[in-house]
Amino acid sequence: MKTTKARRPQPAIREAKANDQQRATTKIGARGQSAAGESRFANIKKKKTSGPDMGRSSTPATSKKRSSPTSGMSRMVAQAIAKTAIAREVQGIKPATENSTAAETQTTIRDSKLRPSAKRAKKMPQRHGSQHEISAQKQLREKRLTSDQIGDERLQKALAFSGIGSRREMEEIIEAGRVSVNGKIADLGAKVSPGDEVRIDGKRIALKWQDRLPRVIMYHKEEGELVSRDDPEGRVTVFDRLKRIYSSKWVAIGRLDFNTSGLLLFTTSGELANRMMHPSFEVEREYAVRVHGQLTPEQMKEMVNGIELDDGPANFARIEDRGGEGQNHWYHVVLKEGRNREVRRMFEHYNLMVSRLMRIRFGMFNLPGRLKRGQFYELTETEVLAVMKWADLTMMGQVKRR
């Protein structure tokens, strides 16, 4: 009779048996731990019942937690509710139990939001010049004046150009004795040059100098924008729409009313702005005006010869009839000064209400047809140089010495 040897079990079977043994050992250990815990709890219970508190309830402490208002909630949820209540109390939002309506809550949230920042104006699309033009513009852009060529400058003008404030504000702080030059209190009309130490209320000021070719921007202003740097009512200003510069500041050449659109010029040269705005230079401003009604030929002649307004006589240099449809009629008028609402008041003198007013030209600058509302166009260096020659200023914006 043949004898057969027992075969060794396969590896999978050996692993399965080992896992079963390990599970059995783990269960036995868990039972032992639970039994020890039960016996420990029983001893504690006996001690409580055997003491002087036999008549009191033996309910464990966990039952008190379940009777609390936050029973069933996690600690994180309870903390979040508490933080929300504190935040609502700080913001002044009343809870629903105090008869607060949804409209009051929405109003509180709406009032807490800040005024959204205005969108930056887009640049007018333009074609690139030739290689010769690009090279010439680069040379003009990199040209600088030395400190000896800059010369002296009035203190209030230098401070205003450095972006500290307007000339009028600088004159006020100089008269108040708050400005010193090289350690001495400055007087109104004092002059400074590169290298001088200027301080306001003891704090040193880094002055900026017009040592390069100025920058000029043509901007198509929209109705509903203010020509001001700050507005207490939080309305959008034209300076909110322009890109910021850090080497100097934008100076608006002239102003346009809140409801007037059209060409608005900005520059970094105070002398160029003064040459274009001052009445003594008589720079022409042309407007397109739409009125409800029509002027008679006699009234048009009177507007050219001069009419009397509340703040003195006023007149148009030219006036042209551009026709119209229905009750609306268009005129093109030319002024040589920039008084407040002058065009509107001259038409109101004949009981004609202006329904639309747009500036289409300022001096040598014409409003480009491709310059849409809310867009700007920055003149190239060669174009700025031509503007300086037209204004009878030096390349860097100084008054030419005769």
CA distance readout (Å), 217 to 86, 117, 240, 310, 384: 51, 21, 15, 34, 10
The Cα 129–Cα 127 span in angstroms is 6
The Cα 227–Cα 255 span in angstroms is 6
Report yes or no: 123 and 378 within 8 Å, Cβ to Cβ.
yes
Instruction: For the beta carbon of residue 267, count every other beta carbon within 10 angstroms.
Output: 22
**Residues annotated as part of the active site:** 257
- CA 364 from centre of chain: 31
The Cα 376–Cα 244 span in angstroms is 13
Q: Calculate ∠ Cα 354-360-366, nearest 5°.
A: 175
Instruction: With CA atoms as reference, report the closest residue to 181 among 164, 147, 156.
Output: 156
Residue 119, classed as helix, strand or coil, is coil
